Chains A and B, each alone.
Chain A
């Protein structure tokens, strides 16, 4: 069975600085998607970034970028120029691209941003 592990329960960063959130996963599949979702205090789960496993190029969305290491099964999220609005729970998630299955979430990392 697939698993997603986020080993950092909490992280903090100063405004305008860069922070990296870690995520590792375990799967025997070769075709899958990886996601980072953000859940602010409003509780709405917001998609931050998506990575297709077959793409070697790391996904980027404005200040958010990932470091996808397929062989190492690692998928970290880098937030550059951190802003106060980035404070939230961040969830790493996995979904198979080749068969019907649920989205598998990690336990989340709480990010605090200090002015």
Chain B
């Protein structure tokens, strides 16, 4: 089975712009979670989707949003980018809401 894929792998944006990241889960997996990883804050949970519904949400401002499509693919969007949004964004998929999560390679976002 193919693993979790994330596109793009690298992204450079400027402050004020918006960005959309994409995640395709492992075939058959219905849950997708997003995490932000920075050297200062470590791994922080953004949100989790299951069957196109947001099931969990982390403590991030409303500029961070996401959605899941009927084929379980997920996108996250960050509007009005700030310098502090520079991070590695990791997507993980699992069969359900309590099963093991498998991670994608991540999208590295740099905000200038």
Q: A residues within 8 Å of B by Cβ?
A: 33, 35, 37, 42-47, 50, 91, 95-103, 105, 107-108
Given A43-B108, A96-B98, 7 additional A-B pairs, CB 8 A: A43-B105, A43-B106, A44-B104, A45-B90, A47-B100, A102-B33, A102-B45
Residue picked from A33, A91, A100, A107, most chain B C-beta under 10 Å: A100
| Interface range for B | 20 to 34
Check if B32 is an interface residue, CB within 8 A of chain A: no
A-B contact pairs, 25 of them (CB 8 A): A33-B98, A42-B105, A43-B105, A43-B108, A44-B104, A44-B106, A45-B92, A45-B106, A46-B103, A50-B100, A91-B43, A95-B101, A96-B98, A98-B98, A99-B98, A100-B48, A100-B56, A100-B98, A102-B33, A102-B45, A103-B45, A103-B92, A105-B42, A107-B42, A108-B42
Question: With a CB–CB cut-off of 8 A, which chain A residues contact B43?
Answer: 91, 105
7 tightest Cβ-Cβ pairs between the two chains A and B: A45-B103, A102-B45, A105-B43, A100-B97, A44-B105, A97-B98, A43-B106
Question: With a CB–CB cut-off of 8 A, which chain B residues contact A47?
Answer: 100, 102-103
Check if B88 is an interface residue, CB within 8 A of chain A: yes
Number of A-B contacts (CB under 8 A): 48
* Residues of A contacting B: mostly: loop
* Residues of B contacting A: mostly: strand
Give the distance in Å from the alpha carbon of A106 to the alpha carbon of B43 in the complex: 9
Give the distance in Å from the alpha carbon of A90 to the alpha carbon of B104 in the complex: 16
Tell me how far the C-beta of A46 lies from the nearest C-beta in chain B, rounded to whole angstroms.
Answer: 7
Give the distance in Å from the alpha carbon of A78 to the alpha carbon of B58 in the complex: 32
